[in-house]
Amino acid sequence: MASNAAVPFWRAAGMTYITYSNICANLVRNCLKEPYKTEALAREKVHFSISKWTDGKPEKPNDV
Amino acid sequence: MFRQASRLLARTTTATTWRRSRAFSTDLPATPTEDSTFIESWKKVIPNMDPPKTPSSFMTPRPATPSSIPSKITVNFVLPYASELSTKEVDMVIVPATTGQMGVLPGHVPTIAELKPGILSVHEGNDVTKYFLSSGFAFIHANSVADIIAVEAVPLDCVDPALVQKGLAEFTQRLGTATSDLEKAEAQIGVDVHSALNSALTG
């Protein structure tokens, strides 16, 4: 079988479909009018809580 | 040798019927929720154990493929955070596939289309509802059900033209100065999305 012709440019640059799709979605969200824009950005906020472990014990977590 | 032959033959037929009863959920009959062919073949081979439940017995069966073309397509348009349209019967849908704007009428061939940033328009009688999609997929099934999934979809009135112009200028400039492949790809994506937004607003 021949290799897939015309790989999309983002895949040729090493990006996956999910990254591409998320970038597109973020760009569209940034172009929204005011009340919708704050709603959309608030909806997409993600909280991370990171804690490093040493000697089998967790240290204090950092929240992002 | 002949005893083996009948066992092997029975095994291949049960394997193929089992595979067939799992393929294409659109081919399942609308009423029974059990895989009757699977259960029969199971009972032939292992009559003493109860057949296990297959995933299809837990699902609501798909509407069967009717023999004549239905008059309307059923659209399911979903986003990660909301279901915009759920089993809505419409006359036509135009989806922004990577190969161009594709119109879907009842009786369309089953298709899987990757979508590019663009406008999705839903035509119901004389009403047209338009949404701008960021990207996604459209699945059109043999029974005239269309599943459209997108990450972000906004009605065109929610888009700010000034921000679109600013974004387009910024990314065109970034495309000019980009060095690595990844930067170029990101800038190109920015240009594509903003120019699609621009033509959606003006066209």
Q: Could you state, in order of their start, the residue ranges of all structural domains in chain B?
A: 70-156, 161-202
Asked if B189 and A24 come within 8 Å (Cβ–Cβ), the reply is yes
Q: Which residues of chain A are within 8 Å of residue B175 when distances are taken between CB atoms? A: none
Cβ–Cβ of B159/A15 closer than 8 Å?
no
State the average pLDDT over residues A20-29: 91
Domain that holds residue A41: 4-63
Q: Does the structure show a pLDDT above 90 at B8? A: no
Split into its structural domains, chain A has a count of 1
**Of A9, A21, A28, Cβ closest to residue B185:** A9
For B103-144, the pLDDT digits (tens) are 999 888 899 999 999 999 999 888 888 899 999 999 998 888
pLDDT digits (tens, 9 = 90+) for B50-109: 888 877 777 776 666 777 778 888 899 999 888 888 888 888 899 999 999 999 998 888
* Phi, psi at A7, each rounded to 5°: -70, 140
Decide: helix, strand or coil at residue A50: strand
Q: What is the pLDDT of residue B29?
A: 46
Closest CA to B114 of B81, B148, B145: B148
Q: The CATH number of the domain where A29 resides is what?
A: 1.10.1620.20
Q: What is the mean pLDDT of chain B?
A: 81
Q: Which residues of B touch A (CB under 8 A)?
A: 81, 98, 117, 132, 134-136, 151-152, 154, 157-160, 163-164, 167, 181-182, 184-186, 188-190, 193-194, 197
The first and second tokens of residue B25, run together, are: 């959920």
- For residue A37, the chain B residues in CB contact (below 8 A) are 160
Burial of A47 (0-12, 13-18, 19+ CB in 10 A): exposed
CA distance B139 to B132: 18
B70-156: CATH topology: ATP Synthase; domain 1 (2.60.15)
The amino acid occupying position A25 is A
Percent of chain B residues topping a pLDDT of 70: 81
Taking a C-beta distance cutoff of 8 angstroms, is the pair B93, B120 a contact? yes
Residues across chain A: 64
Q: Give me the pLDDT at residue B31, please.
A: 40
B158 contact residues in A (CB cutoff 8 A)? 32-33, 36
Partners of A14 on chain B (C-beta within 8 Å) are 181-182, 185
Residues of A in contact with B200 (CB under 8 A): none
Please, is B157 exposed, middle or buried when counting C-beta atoms within 10 Å of its C-beta (0-12, 13-18, 19+)? exposed
Is B151 in contact with A24 (Cβ distance < 8 A)?
yes
pTM, two decimals, is 0.70
Give the C-alpha separation, B194 to B154, whole Å.
14
